[in-house]
Chains A and B, each alone.
Chain A
Amino acid sequence: KQEVTQIPAALSVPEGENLVLNCSFTDSAIYNLQWFRQDPGKGLTSLLLIQSSQREQTSGRLNASLDKSSGRSTLYIAASQPGDSATYLCAVRRGSGNTGKLIFGQGTTLQVKP
């Protein structure tokens, strides 16, 4: 059974700091991995999607890496801003085709202090 774990559960940093959020999964047979952002009282917004054949994806100040063999992914946020404060969730997709089920981690709640 696939399990997804995110550490730490919460993180508080001063503005401008670079930071790394961690995600680990127990079954390396994944199709892809996604990082989402969730603001309080809102739905999830997809940030980055990494295919199982890829090592990393970048979007602006965000960089996500994937190491399937070790069952790990990281989300790197450069030059953090107060607007980055949110909960970040990673999710793995198990299979290809129409097996679209995502397994989510519990999330890391990030607070960036001005």
Chain B
Amino acid sequence: AQKITQTQPGMFVQEKEAVTLDCTYDTSDPSYGLFWYKQPSSGEMIFLIYQGSYDQQNATEGRYSLNFQKARKSANLVISASQLGDSAMYFCAMSFGGSQGNLIFGKGTKLSVKP
């Protein structure tokens, strides 16, 4: 069965520093996608970054990068130069080839950026 694990319930980071949010996954399907979402206190789910299982290079989107280690089944999100507006819940999610495209979500990590 597919599973996403986020082991950090909460994280603190100083403004302008980088932070890594951990995510591990489990699937036997060779085709899968890994996603990160941001959920501010207002509640909307904002897509940040995607990594496909066949992608050779780590995905990057602006200040976000995904540290994809396939053998370890990890897909950590790295946020560089943290800003106060980065304070939010962050969810790691996975979709897989045998699905209809729906996502399985981890429990999330609450990131707090300190000034």
- Do A and B pair up? The answer is no
Give B residues with C-beta under 8 Å from A. none
